[in-house]
Structure 1
Amino acid sequence: MRTQHEESFRVFARDQAAALRRSAYLLCGDWHLAEDLVQTTLTKLYRAWRRVDEKTQEAYARKTLMRTWLDERRKPWRRAESRDGVVPDTGDSESDPAVAGQRARTRNLVLRALAEVPPRQRAVLVLRYWEDLPTAEVAAALRCSEGTVKSQASRGLQNLRGVIAQHDPDYVGVGAEGTA
């Protein structure tokens, strides 16, 4: 690879690694696996870097991350794995302890519930609501129609609410009354 391409890749990887890692974690619920997914994604991206248009680099990276994660989910040893671990909390020193505790409880509840949503719906929810991508970009990243994205998002939110209600029947969070 030419020096200019290598330098532009390094800058891109440095600037986007944290965002890719966060997205990967939201998909898989495991920081170690998220790091592996990002490394695999960056390796694949490096190989194709000369062919990637400068305007679509972020979209290409997200699409590659999604495909890498879906490929990882298809591996036989992943199907037998059960993730029952507790997600560690991070401290929020700027907040009232009661508010911080409620936020941490809500965060853990949502992350636990998100891990139980089917992979395709989880991918749509992460891209659509956490990454705040338009429906068209989510459809392009997942190679499906916009209608499929909308229906998967609707079913995913319904499943997410159901799992949250199953884990904590008394919890009333954002969107629990049908407003997202």
Structure 2
Amino acid sequence: MNTRTTRTLAAALSLTAALAISGCSSDAKDSAGSADSGAKPKLTVSGGYMPEPVNDKMAGAFMVIKNDSKTADKLTGITSPLSDDLQIHETKDQKMQQVQSMDVPANGELKLERGGNHVMFMGLKNTPKVGDKVTVELRFEKADPIEVELDVKERTYKAPTSNEH
């Protein structure tokens, strides 16, 4: 009987300890203010545009995603009524390849620009013209989605460099 009581008591204490640890772990992180505290990054998007597409096959999109917080994030997806297939592309050594996500560094920015990292619209449902606006929704690992209107610009348009703060 003594062994049985000891086992029951040990099991009860183990269960209580496990519940206490799991219940406190997130509170401990929150009060310490760690990056895992659940604080969402503060992201803003500027300079969004799409050069007028040559045809209805594909188009690029460019913008700057700024992170004004101490929590890094990742761009994980993008959607738009203009296409059912939007891709995040990375450019390395002048070669373009699709990636699943891109880092948006803490207190930094992710530049999506001509000749570099960008978004590709594949299989356009229609061909927007200069002056049109294209709506996209950016999705992130931590931050809430952000809806952005891209201005359709001339095919030769080059965004101004960003030293204008």
TM-score category by the smaller chain?
A: under 0.3
Larger strand fraction of residues: 2
Structure number with greater CO (CA < 8 Å, separation at least 6) is 2
Relative to the length of structure 2, the TM-score reads 0.26
Greater C-alpha radius of gyration: 2
Relative to the length of structure 1, the TM-score reads 0.25
